[in-house]
Amino acid sequence: MVDLKNQYLKIKNEIDDAIINCVENTQFINGPSVNTFQNALQSYLNVKHVIPCANGTDSLQIAMMALDLKPGDEVICPAFTYVATAEVIGLLGLIPVMVDVDPNTFNITAEIIEQAITTKTKAIVPVHLYGQSCDMEPIINLAKKHKLFIIEDNAQAIGSEYTFSDGTRAKTGTMGDIGSISFFPSKNLGCFGDGGALTTNNDELAYKMRMIANHGQEVKYFHKILGCNSRLDTIQAAILNVKLKKLDEYIDSRNQMSKYYDLKLESNKKVQIPVRQKNSNHVFHQYTLRVKDGARNDLQKYLSVHKIPSMIYYPFPLYKQPAFEKYVPFDFVIPNVEQLCSEVISIPIHTEINLEHMNYICEKINQF
Ligand SMILES: *Cc1c(COP(=O)(O)O)cnc(C)c1O
């Protein structure tokens, strides 16, 4: 699905130097690269604060902890997302309210969110799925109207940009109260292990989240609130410093690959190519097709026989997972989401374009 080996080989010297530097310097925790990376990411995203942390699940959890939500408060999130989004909500004793998504963009919308708002609703978690921004303007207006917090799950869309109706633009993760990023190796900006970060323009929230990520301490050995231990390793930050400079180039490569796939697959009536929104660019964390006529599983088998990797993100709605069944009535169903779970298939998309591979993949899909 990704070609991390060849990506590494192209920047091997820089990466190896950065790692050796950390090893020789021995400041493995909070070394100088962490601060450098934090500042570089702040300017890349044009956001006031970046708080590095251990992974993209912790960042969601730290975000929720910083908002002073109370057990029983409801947090609206899509039912069609990675487990982490809803998991942290449940872990903190909050209620994940899992809702539908737009079947074209795979993202939640203001209309869908509005139907789920109750007197207990305190926050919304829009997930910018597969690399495209949710339609944020109406979501922000809705949140203002109902006094709800917005935590953007930006794990898959770093670098994506949204355009408001007045023409102003903002990077995903900088439009809500807090944004959450993952640097898992296969994400668009991936490190060589786990890593994550929080983004916010709110000074107070930034201060609090930094404290929570560091055992709730303001000053060493003075613990003001309950926190956790969630840090970005110095070595991972050093790697990210090298790779952040390449991020726009990586996004370009993914877009080139997506355009080629579009070209070869758009006339195939049995698959739906990704729908591109007008007000967001796409960073193609995933290139996800919808396969018609119940043929998705057979297509996946066919691709596998021909040695083509593919993945189903996501095979089950969250509410169907045993971990989440207590949050919904026994016969709860969201038809759109169930349909997506049975139709989607993601095919390889990454930074190391190889025309021959892309041709082969499209040829096999079209043959099928
Ligand atoms: C990857 C991902 C996460 C979690 O990130 P980790 O760094 O693996 O903890 C959260 N939400 C979404 C949508 C993701 O894709």
Q: Tell me the per-residue pLDDT of 7-62, one tens digit each, with 9 for 90 and over.
A: 999 999 999 999 999 999 999 999 999 999 999 999 999 999 999 999 999 999 99
* Residue 184 Cβ < 6 Å to ligand 1: yes
Average pLDDT over residues 265-270: 96
Cut 0.85: pTM above it: yes
pLDDT tens digits, residue range 124-165?
999 999 999 999 999 999 999 999 999 999 999 999 999 999
Q: Which atom of ligand 1 is nearest to the CA of 59?
A: 9
Average pLDDT over residues 335-355: 95
Distance 89 CA to ligand 1 centre (A): 14
Could you say which of 3.60.15.10, 3.40.640.10, 3.90.1150.10, 3.90.1170.40 is the CATH number of the domain covering 4-99+106-244?
3.40.640.10
pLDDT tens digits, residue range 165-217?
999 999 999 999 999 999 999 999 999 999 999 999 999 999 999 999 999 99
Question: What is the rounded distance in angstroms from the CA atom of residue 210 to the CA atom of residue 267?
Answer: 50
* Residue 153 Cβ < 6 Å to ligand 1: yes
Residue 338's pLDDT is what?
Answer: 97
Residue 9's pLDDT is what?
Answer: 97
Does 365 have pLDDT greater than 90? Answer: yes
Does 313 have pLDDT greater than 90? Answer: yes
Mean pLDDT (the chain) is 97
Residue 218's pLDDT is what?
Answer: 87
Percent of the chain with pLDDT over 90: 98
What band does 353 get if pLDDT is binned at 50, 70 and 90?
confident
Enumerate the domain spans of the chain.
Answer: 4-99+106-244, 247-367
pLDDT tens digits, residue range 211-244?
999 999 988 889 999 999 999 999 999 999 999 9
pLDDT tens digits, residue range 57-69?
999 999 999 999 9
Best mutation site among 2, 53, 57 for ligand 1, i.e. most ligand atoms within 8 A of its Cβ? 57
Please check whether the domain covering 247-367 is classified as CATH 1.10.3720.10.
Answer: no
* Residue 196 Cβ < 6 Å to ligand 1: yes
Residue 69's pLDDT is what?
Answer: 95
Best mutation site among 85, 89, 152, 311 for ligand 1, i.e. most ligand atoms within 8 A of its Cβ? 85
Average pLDDT over residues 282-287: 98
* Residue 127 Cβ < 6 Å to ligand 1: yes
